[in-house]
Amino acid sequence: MSENIIDLFKKNNGYYSGAKISAELGITRAAVWKKITALRKKGFIIEAVPSKGYRLVRAPDLSEDYIKSGAKGSLWKDIFVYDRVSSTNELAMSLATKDDLRTNIVIIADSQEKGKGRLGRQWVSPPGGNIYMSLVLRPKLETRDATMLTLLTAVVCAHAIKKISSLPVSIKWPNDLIISRKKLGGILTEIRTDIDKVNLAVIGIGINVNMEAEDFTDEIRSIATSIKEESGQYCSRNELVVEILRQFERFYNILIKQGKHPLLNEWKALSSTIGKNIKVVIGDETVIGFAEDIDDNGMLILKLDSGLRRQISAGDVTLLR
């Protein structure tokens, strides 16, 4: 019900009378006041002026009520926002594998104690500035197409960031979001399979939103950036999360209904890897070549100096100048 009041405020930037809210939501004036009071206790700044009504001045950053209000659609069944968790992916997997088999849910945290990146690396997750979220799905995909979930999410995040901030985000294979040759965010997909089907997928998303340069550790300061650093402006985490969820539903429906080729084409259009000379580190092996394409399963096709082509399923990519 709180989301419904927020919806009304967002539709009308001016004042909304208690009588009008009461009529539109079908609740009493007393119930309206109770809802307004509850939102204020959660950090919403709501102005009240006699004879004019109520006006939403500001929503708290990373608000569960605000995100639920904006992320309308048929895909997401529930959204949870926490102050601090060990890892959003760990929590999401735990919720999804319990007896009730919860799915189509979103887990968001202001900070993580043990944020995870690819290849078991730590994802630095301080509070107050970034997005750490995990999406739980039971996708109708064959196991061989599981990599499409990571490619899809990279496309989704690139579109969402551009819409909210106007920044031109590119994708470095397989899962890095890039601006100005620096890493803005990444994606970690974990799956559970049942014979030849993906039974469960947890897709972790980490995006540096409002971090300042001095907030990054010395180790990553030269290779990482944030939306605020690149745009020079504060970015609403609420609005970015909402846009990510909207874009995910849009592209997920395309994948399910039209197949993977439209999505692959979208990924290629956003790629900063295809058409470049690159170095790929695969465990103890280093391979240098020309990134020609990705195949239908999202594997990188690398043309070696010998003229031979090699398919790469995983590795750390560095663009060569």
Question: Torsion-angle region of residue 292: left (phi > 0), alpha (psi -120 to 50) or beta?
Answer: alpha
Its pTM stands at 0.91
Return the pLDDT at 311. Answer: 94
Q: DSSP assignment of 33-98, as one string? A: HHHHHHHHHTT-EEEEETTTEEEEEEPPTT-HHHHHHH--SSS--EEEEEEEES-HHHHHHHHHTS
- Domain-by-domain residue ranges, the chain? 2-58, 64-270, 277-319
Q: What is the radius of gyration, based on Cα positions, of the chain? A: 22
Q: Which CATH number fits domain 2-58: 1.10.1740.10, 3.10.105.10, 3.40.50.2000, 1.10.10.10?
A: 1.10.10.10
Return the pLDDT at 22. Answer: 92
In 10 A of CB 232, how many CB atoms?
A: 7
Return the pLDDT at 4. Answer: 86
- C-alpha 258/C-alpha 264 separation (Å) is 12
- C-alpha 275/C-alpha 293 separation (Å) is 8
Return the pLDDT at 97. Answer: 80
- What are the tens digits of pLDDT across the range 165-185? 999 999 999 889 999 999 999
- What are the tens digits of pLDDT across the range 220-232? 888 899 999 999 9
Q: CATH topology for 64-270?
A: BirA Bifunctional Protein; domain 2 (3.30.930)
| Pair of tokens at residue 102 | 């919860």
Return the pLDDT at 220. Answer: 83
Backbone angles phi, psi at 174, to 5 degrees: -95, -20
Contact present, 208 and 130 (Cβ < 8 Å)? yes
- C-alpha 114/C-alpha 5 separation (Å) is 36
Edge-first strand order for the sheet with 131-137 is 78-85, 105-112, 131-137, 197-207, 182-194, 176-179, 170-172
Does a cis peptide bond (omega within 30 degrees of 0) precede residue 174? yes
273-296: burial string, b at 16+ Cβ within 10 Å, e else = bbeeebebeeeeeeeebbbebbee
Residues forming beta bridges with residue 117, ordered by sequence position: none
Locus of tokens 């010395």: 218
Along the 321 residues of the chain, how does pLDDT read in single tens digits? 577 899 888 887 788 888 999 999 999 999 999 999 999 999 999 999 998 999 999 999 999 999 999 988 889 999 999 999 989 999 999 888 875 656 799 999 999 887 665 555 665 667 788 999 999 998 988 988 899 999 999 999 999 999 999 999 999 998 899 999 999 999 999 999 888 899 899 999 999 999 988 888 888 888 899 999 999 999 999 999 999 999 999 999 999 999 999 999 999 999 999 999 999 999 899 999 999 999 999 999 999 999 999 999 888 899 987
User: Where do the H-state alpha helices sit in the chain?
Assistant: 2-11, 18-25, 29-41, 64-70, 88-96, 147-165, 227-231, 237-258, 261-270
Q: CATH topology for 277-319?
A: SH3 type barrels. (2.30.30)
Return the pLDDT at 35. Answer: 93
In 10 A of CB 154, how many CB atoms?
A: 27
- C-alpha 58/C-alpha 43 separation (Å) is 9
List of E strands, 167-235: 170-172, 176-179, 182-194, 197-207
Average pLDDT of the residues of the chain: 90
Helix 147-165 to helix 237-258 angle (10° resolution) is 140
